[in-house]
Every structure is written in C-alpha cells, then in structure tokens.
Structure 1
C-alpha cells in the first residue's frame, strides 16, 4: 500500500463533542489536495470520545483510531500517533478544536517554499482566543523559555505543527516534550520556522491544564531541556 503524503495526528481526551466537527474540518481542508490520513489517539477518555471516533470510521476511510490502555498525557499520545503514522511528514492538532485545520495547507505551502533544512514549522497564535490569565501566563512562560533556550520561537504551546516524522522520532522523548519541539529540533541540527495561524475559542469541554500545573512542570522541564542543549555535540560526518 502506498503511504499517504501527510499524516494528521490528533491527541484527544474527553473531547466527544469536538472530534466529529474537527475531523470534518480536516477532511474539508485536505481532500482533493493530497493523500492523507488522520490518526486520532484517545488517551483513555472517560466520556464517549472513543465510541464517537469508532463510528466516524464508517464515513472517513482516512481515519485511524488508536486507544491508550492507561492515561499517559498529551506528549505520549502525540509520540504514539507519530510512531503509527505512515507519511513522511506529520501535522499535529489539539483535539479541542481551537486549532484551525484550514491552516494545514498553509504550513505545507511554507514547507515547500523554505530550505530543506527546515524540518519543523510551528504555528504561531498571533490572536489568541484564550482567557486573559492564560494569555498572561503564556507570555511569561514564552519569555522565560526564550531566554533560557534561545529557540527563537514566539509560541511553542500552539498545537498545530508540521514536521518530518523521522526527525521527530530521533528526538529525546520525555513527558511534555511537545512544548519544546523547536528547541529540540534545533538541538538536533535542524532549522525551524514559526508561521502565523488562526486560533479559536474552545467550542465544548474544558481545558486539561491549569496555569499552576503548567508552571510547576515547566520549571523542571526547562532545566532539563537546557541541560540537553548544553550537553549536545554535533559534527559533520564524512564517509571515506
């Protein structure tokens, strides 16, 4: 079987009211433009998310559904989705519907325009539709991260990204790694690019994160990623 040109990986947890509409938008954005698949990874939802996804397979032959047997979090869901993906390039979206699938073709067009060394295109929410407290917390977190990691990325928390599958799988894996993909890609020797994208209000359900929870985990992760970067050594290898 010929692999698709793009895999869209979507981690979900308790998003039963959002997954059908999100999948319909993905199909509207991509059908007729390229061969694609959607890999939804259910992180042990306690509502009807998994049942809705299984029913949607009858209408969407592009849909694949993975189910965690224990709840592991967003980074593990993304990592497992990318491992299962069949395309050489992967786009990711958050499962809450705040990312706009219509931005995926824009990311693909930017990928085709820039140098081959760019292996990650990260969405940049220039007009965030979150609460004031979340926007404030995000600005502080991005400022601290940029000062420590020097990753030249204004918004690493945006769920919509496009990257080469193999480059992603070669990165060190850890919980919450999805928030540090630009820095990790640059550590591996690749270039990254931030692309302005649309951002929408959550249509249904509740956020899985709190500002305090992000801060507690973020301090530890920042120190860890900073250490990884400091200990990195790269050189050009020539076969003789």
Structure 2
C-alpha cells in the first residue's frame, strides 16, 4: 500500500459531538492531498468508538485506534505516530477548536525542506479568561526557560516530519514540548499564525491544576534533556564504509 504524504492524528476523549464535523472539514481541506486520518479514542464513554466504526465503513482514509481506559493525549499521539504511514504527521485537537483549513498552509511550509516542525500560533483565542491567562503565563515561562522560540507550544495544530518525531523521547505530556524536543535533536522549528474557534460541544478535560504542576516537573525534565544533548553532531563516514555495499553486492552476484 502506498504511503500517504501526511497522516493526521487526532487524540479524542468524549468528543462524539465534535468528531463528525471535524472529520468532514479535514476531508475538504486535504482533498487534493494523499492523506490518512488516525483518531485515537482515548477511553471515551460517549459513543465515540461506535461513531468512528460506522464512519470507517464509508471512509477508507480513516483509521480509528482505541484505549479502553484513558492513557492521555501524549500517549495517544505517540502511539498514533508510530502506527502512521505518512511522511509527515499533522496533529490537531479533537474538540474542533483547531481549524483544519490551516493544515495545507502548515504542510506547504514544512515541505520547503528547511524545518522539521511547523507549529501553529493561536493569535486570537476563543477560550474563557482563566484559560487564556494561564496559557499566556505558561507559554511565557516555557519560552524563557526553554528558549524554544515558539510562542504557543500549547496549540494542538502542528506538522512534524515523522522521521523526526520517532526519534523523540516519550513521556507523559510530551506533546506540550515538541518544539524544544525537536530542537534538542538538532531540528529546526517555525511558527505560523492559525485560527482558533470556540469549542462546539462537550467540555475540556484540562484545568489549571492538572496543567500547572505536571508542566513544571516536565519542563525541568526537558531542560535537563536539552542540557545533556550533544546533537547535532557531525558524523563522518569512512571511505571503506561507502564501498562496502557495492562490494557485498558484487560478491552476491558472482
């Protein structure tokens, strides 16, 4: 089976009210591009899995995955990234607040060849005041400590080369630090403005407390990883090694 250009990854928990319209929007936005869509039902209790099963019967590009019990957004993205077949991975949240119409623009920038990750930057937020303030503080602290030159790492809309993603270390909540982790591996990241919309249905599973304390611990860990990284490191190949493959091939043909 031919590998698609891009694999869209959607972690979703109890988002049955948002998934149908979101999947329709993705199909329209990427109609001209070879793609697949992996939705990870992260322990939903609202009928999301049955909805995805019914939709798969008429949409061959849809590949639903499931956790019987919630394993979290990072685990969902990590596992879907390994199951994906595309050259590029595009992530967006299952709540419908990210606009799929932004995907072709982010993908076009990524395919220019000079970056490993393109992150969305929500310049206009449609959240309540507490979420906006806490996000602004978190992004400010993160940018100052990690120096990742990414104004909005909390935005779920990102495009990353799958090869680069597979090299990243896994830990819970890693999805919040993808630019810093990519940079620690020697990759370059850029940000582009993207749309942000009000949540259509359901409610958020994140609050100030389950973001703040875990985020501080994770940030310390990412700082340590970046401090200890020696990448990128130039790796020279010996002349003999470059000849090994043709030599072995010649031997096998004789």
Following superposition, the deviation at residue 7 of structure 1 comes to: 0.5
TM-score by length of 2: 0.91
Matching residue of 1:127: 124
Is residue 16–residue 47 contact of structure 2 (8 Å, CA) maintained in 1? Answer: yes
Q: Does 1:3 align with 2:8?
A: no
Is residue 7–residue 89 contact of structure 2 (8 Å, CA) maintained in 1? Answer: yes
Following superposition, the deviation at residue 58 of structure 1 comes to: 2.2
Matching residue of 2:246: none
**Please, which runs of 5 or more residues in structure 2 have no aligned partner?**
239-254
Q: Distance in 1 between matches of 2:103 and 2:39?
A: 16
| Aligned residue-pair number | 237
Is residue 119–residue 164 contact of structure 1 (8 Å, CA) maintained in 2? Answer: yes
**Please, which runs of 5 or more residues in structure 1 have no aligned partner?**
none
Q: 2:202 aligns with which of 200, 205, 215?
A: 205
Q: Does 1:175 align with 2:172?
A: yes
Matching residue of 1:28: 28
Q: Does 1:192 align with 2:202?
A: no
Matching residue of 2:46: 47
> Secondary structure in 2 aligned to 1:38?
strand
> Secondary structure in 1 aligned to 2:223?
helix
Following superposition, the deviation at residue 46 of structure 1 comes to: 1.1
TM-score by length of 1: 0.97
Q: Does 1:80 align with 2:79?
A: yes
Matching residue of 1:98: 97
Q: Does 1:159 align with 2:151?
A: no
- Per-residue CA deviations over 1:104-162 (Å, capped at 9, x if unaligned) read 0011121234xx24110000000011111111001111111111100000000000100
Q: Distance in 2 between matches of 1:67 and 1:138?
A: 29
Following superposition, the deviation at residue 211 of structure 1 comes to: 1.1
- Per-residue CA deviations over 1:173-223 (Å, capped at 9, x if unaligned) read 100000000000000000000010000000000001001211011110111
> Secondary structure in 1 aligned to 2:111?
helix
Q: Distance in 2 between matches of 1:45 and 1:212?
A: 22
Q: Considering only aligned residues, what root-mean-square deviation do their CA atoms show, in Å?
A: 0.9
Q: Flag as ranges the 4+ runs of structure 1 deviating above 4 A.
A: none
- Per-residue CA deviations over 1:66-97 (Å, capped at 9, x if unaligned) read 11133210000001111110111010110000
Following superposition, the deviation at residue 9 of structure 1 comes to: 0.5
Is residue 110–residue 160 contact of structure 2 (8 Å, CA) maintained in 1? Answer: no
Q: Distance in 1 between matches of 2:7 and 2:169?
A: 21
